[in-house]
Amino acid sequence: MQVTAPPTGPHILGFDVIWIATMLSAVAAMAVMLAIYAATTVKDPMARRVKALNERREQLKAGIVASTNKRKKLTNKSQAADNVRQLLSQFKMLQDDQVKKTQLRLMQAGIRTKDLAFFIIFARFVLPVVLGIGAVIALYGMHYFPTWSWFRRYATVAAVLVGSYKAPDIWLKNKVNKRSAAIRKGLPDALDLLVICAEAGLTVDAAFGRVARELGKAYPELGDEFGLTAIELGFLAERRAAFENLANRVDLEAVRGVVTTMIQTEKYGTPLASALRVLSAEFRHQRMMRAEEKAARLPAIMTVPLILFILPTLFVVILGPASCSINDSFLHG
């Protein structure tokens, strides 16, 4: 008795079309569900920054009017940071100037948690030990890459040690540079708004708060700094300290110039609007000069891709048919 095989559906390249359609439908349904979830759970990008500014406001307020116990409660370190700090102190690897410098870089990167400085210092000493031992075991103990010469293995271990030691500083420096570039981009517009607010009769702290609200979505980093400055102007005992904190939190010479101008206007009573208008025009001119400089460097940067990728393709397209015609004429001639 002959047994017939069960009927099968159509196939493409050996795969069942029905099975492929089922999988694609499942992927499409999952994508639709993710899109609906992302659309229904969207958050305001300024909510986290507003929350951080409100916390800073409460800390400043408590530092002025609260009791000593409450002040200590607000400045307590987390348990993990205390453990790391004690460990670093035991091994004599913690210096006050190093901690202050790291905390300053964290503020310039937009990270308000000062306890993270202890973790960065800890990673600076732990990563070379862990990764260096791992590289030594992999290259010399387990004999990975047996064809490598002794110099190549030594150079690899040295590169791992140096790179792992510099990795936390490189990460922090990149964050500072990105934040400084974002603030530099929006600073001329912020100064224009400060000029308008000053001419409208607003006080300095009210002007900073209004500029922070207006530019918060377009330039969130600049809005964050101006909002914090407005809060400090309202709570700190000396207004000069609020401006100096702004200069310390932002690693830009332009911001230091603005801070110097604000301090001079507060001290000598000079017109604020005219000074800020001059600074705004100067910063716009500097931004235009940076754009022109990038445009002038473009031909030199495009030389290497032009030689390596574009010109060979043009040669093949232009000379290829002619070479084929010459080859055919020699073969059939």
Tens-digit pLDDT profile for residues 97-143: 888 888 888 888 888 887 888 888 888 888 888 888 888 888 888 88
Contact status, residue 197 vs residue 211, Cβ threshold 8 Å: yes
- Looking at mean pLDDT, say which of 140-154, 242-256, 277-291 comes out highest: 242-256
Residues 6+ apart with CB under 8 A from 235: 57, 60, 61, 64
Q: Is the pLDDT of residue 249 over 70?
A: yes
At 5 the pLDDT is: 46
Contact status, residue 107 vs residue 249, Cβ threshold 8 Å: yes
Q: Is the pLDDT of residue 150 over 70?
A: yes
What pLDDT, in 10s, does the model give residues 261-281?
Answer: 888 888 887 787 887 888 888
Max Cα–Cα distance, the chain, nearest Å: 111
Residues 6+ apart with CB under 8 A from 231: 53, 56, 57, 60
pLDDT category at 47 given cuts 50, 70, 90 is low
What is the phi-psi region of residue 220: left when phi exceeds 0, alpha when psi lies from -120 to 50, beta otherwise?
alpha
Q: Distance between CA atoms of 216 and 211, rounded to whole angstroms?
A: 8
Of the chain, the end-to-end C-alpha distance in Å amounts to 69
Q: Distance between CA atoms of 264 and 268, rounded to whole angstroms?
A: 6
